[in-house]
A and B are shown apart, each in its own frame.
Chain A
């Protein structure tokens, strides 16, 4: 049952689509941008989303979760991708929740997951240190001092970093800079002493931050998973994040594509609908073919999170690489086929173009994932 949605999942998709088209259309993102909203999302919307259970969708029932599985989360994220809904869903409900589920001990799960489920706790993963995704090239230090760790370093491109209540910080507790061994994950309150946060305004008008750690002191019970063994948690967490993001990208691609096809049927030039031109028909049909392949990849990647996690690295890289290329070509073609109006700010298609570029870099670009896929295949 991996490659088709079941009835419950289809119902969830329909509910999410209806809710988001009313409560979080693209115009809502435009307003956040134009108002220079300091939070970058609407807390009222996030509250409604958590009331629908979206923050807790992958959490077990014992923590107040819906236990609906990763495919359910993917279905919702895909719909969020269609309307470019700004919310902490990806950073908190997909990446943050996975980090605690996979890395947390039972006290941490008891303490954090119920408030995550109700939307009281938001999380952000503070990982990157350079302008390219290098998940184990980490220089931020976590130095042991008695019962505490002292964190020093600098993080960039932290999605939701300026708004999250707590950060999951990837720091080096031993080993050399590029070594996957010697990494430790630490939960750090965003208002901790010595932590400074600079919100960055990126192409997609969403939330990212640069974060400086200067002598930030946290207790050792804030360690998520084993000291020095953080990679064993981080890698699957990143893969889940990649798959979840890829699902959001699928929604973005579908929406941009469908809007473009609709435009081809209404725009007339030379006395005919431009959709009657074979030059545009063939390019559109090529995109449709690519969308069909990506649809299968997404469904398989989502279901393998819960069902066959041993295949997750390969499928996560397949999904992220293919969806990176898909959103790039679809958004480029969407702008081109809209013609002059496609490059105006008035038309919403530009928001899709820009969000796509941020998605393409987050959790690894195409080159990163092609290299990883090839390596996993043994060449």
Chain B
């Protein structure tokens, strides 16, 4: 404890001395740095902040130093996160390379793969996309058809991947591909890293109900992929994917509390948009819905802490398995609640007559609908809980 306290002091001092004032402001989507060949720094200060953090090894403090991490413990990494949050320091580098691929490579990748990709992620040299879902394989991910044929010295990849986040700005994509068409569904799948500059790879953005095009569809037409890019064993990609899904769900569960966008708290919006009588929100139904939401978020926040403490003490519980479900459902509830609180002011799509934040709230409302679908829909989450926590018999339907 003493060590952690003195570590906290060091972190505090370092951040105070090194985090530029401009990087202590709430971040907007335009201010984020995602790295990669197609990306530039949003400002000189953002670059300075990123470089200082990189030199310090704090871009991903818990990764080993030989791959550019800080070699720190989970507890120390959490202290850094807390101290950054305390001074509202911006996240210097975003990306699913950090959040998802990196942890999977550390567990399943070979030494060459770790050396090639982990420092590149931390240095901001490569930005990653995820290639899991296909037009015909959404919640039923294991039915995927994108195939990689063994051509002796390379794989030949054909097919397409959908919901590839920001793939039009990414350098690499990690994909689940079918390598054995005869094997039972989950058994013939492999985990492959593909350079998006390779001939035959193309990407098109998909317009969403939120008006944004964060997601893309990526096509593979006779793409030659070196065999060295296979992660884990051939036909055993499903276990890599499952480990990675855990990181994705954890990330999505936490997104509400750690969103890069300016998330409006419903109880703050209530003060701005609702009438009060004797210190209470006059609309009893909205007040009731709001307190339900605040209580749920309070309980979810405590459960995140519990998950962390259980991990630290090497205790197991079912809590991590429910977080994606409750986190994303709460996110949807929040958005609906904000619309109820804002009335017609919450319906502005673009242009004059509405503040930027009002419009953004509506766009986020539309986006929140994707949260309970992506990364394993809420229904899939319920199936997982029924199967792996409650151990109920296999569903027939």
Q: What is the interface of chain A, defined by CB distance below 8 A to chain B?
A: 1-4, 261, 264-265, 272-273, 275-278, 280-282, 284-286, 288-289, 292-297, 299-300, 318, 321-322, 370-371, 373-375, 377-379
Contacts and interface: CB of A to CB of B under 8 A. Distances in A.
Nearest to B385: A285
Given A296-B302, A318-B295, A318-B299, 12 more contacts: A2-B305, A264-B392, A280-B392, A282-B386, A285-B383, A288-B322, A292-B317, A292-B326, A296-B303, A296-B305, A379-B280, A379-B287
Could you say which of B281, B287, B298, B305 has the most chain A C-beta atoms within 10 Å of its C-beta? B298
B300 A293 contact: yes
A276 B396 contact: yes
Interface string B331-347: 00000000000000000
A321 to B, nearest CB: 6
A294 B299 contact: yes
Of B271, B291, B389, B395, most buried by chain A (CB within 10 Å of CB) is: B291
* Secondary structure call for the A interface: helix
A293 B326 contact: yes
B188 to A, nearest CB: 27
Interface string B361-384: 000000000000000000101110
Interface of B: 267, 270-271, 276, 279-281, 287-288, 290-292, 294-296, 298-300, 302-303, 305-306, 309-310, 313, 315, 317-319, 322, 325-326, 379, 381-383, 385-386, 389-397
B382 A286 contact: yes
Contacts of A294: 299
Contacts of B385: 285, 288-289
Given A299-B306, A322-B299, A379-B276, A373 B291 contact: yes
A83 to B, nearest CB: 22
B192 to A, nearest CB: 33
B392 A4 contact: no
Contact of A374 (B287, B296, B302, B319): B287
Given A285-B386, A296-B302, A296-B305, A4 B396 contact: no
Contacts of A282: 379, 382-383, 386
Nearest to A374: B291
Contacts of B396: 272, 276-277
A370 B315 contact: no
B304 to A, nearest CB: 9
A378 B393 CA distance: 47
Contacts of B394: 276
A220 B260 CA distance: 61
B305 to A, nearest CB: 5
A269 to B, nearest CB: 12
Contacts of B318: 288, 292
A-B residue pairs, 6 tightest by C-beta: A281-B386, A285-B385, A3-B306, A296-B302, A293-B299, A289-B322
Nearest to A264: B392
Given A293-B300, A374-B287, A322 B386 contact: no
Contacts of B379: 282
A300 B315 contact: no
A2 B312 CA distance: 13
A264 B395 CA distance: 12
Nearest to A6: B313
Contacts of B315: 4
Nearest to B387: A281
5 contacts: A3-B302, A281-B383, A284-B392, A288-B389, A296-B303
Nearest to A315: B298
A377 B291 contact: yes
Contact of A296 (B288, B319, B325): B319
Contacts of B317: 292, 295
Contacts of B296: 293
B294 A296 contact: no
Contacts of B295: 318, 321-322, 370, 373
Contacts of B381: 285
Contact of B294 (A277, A285, A373): A373
A371 B395 CA distance: 41
Nearest to B394: A276
Contacts of B393: 265, 272-273, 275-276
A82 B386 CA distance: 22
A374 B280 contact: yes
Contacts of A4: 306, 309-310, 313, 315
A371 B295 CA distance: 12
B384 to A, nearest CB: 8
Contacts of B288: 370
B299 A379 contact: no
Contacts of A272: 393, 396
Given A281-B383, A377-B267, A3 B305 contact: yes
Contacts of A295: 303, 306, 317, 319
Contact of B397 (A278, A288, A289, A373): A278
Contacts of A370: 288, 291-292, 295
Nearest to B281: A379
Nearest to B381: A285
B306 A296 contact: yes
Contacts of B322: 288-289, 292-293
A54 to B, nearest CB: 25
Contact of A297 (B302, B383, B392, B395): B302
B299 A265 contact: no
Given A275-B393, A276-B392, A295-B319, A379 B271 contact: yes
A261 B389 CA distance: 11
A220 B295 CA distance: 42
A294 B287 CA distance: 22
Contacts of B276: 379
Contacts of B294: 373-374, 377
Contacts of B292: 370
Nearest to A282: B382
Contacts of A379: 267, 270-271, 276, 279-281, 287, 290
A274 to B, nearest CB: 9
A280 B393 CA distance: 11
A285 B390 contact: yes
Contacts of B287: 374, 379
A347 B194 CA distance: 60
A265 B394 CA distance: 11
Nearest to A321: B295
Nearest to B393: A276
Contact of A292 (B291, B298, B319): B319
Nearest to B305: A3
Contacts of A1: 309
A75 to B, nearest CB: 15
B392 to A, nearest CB: 4
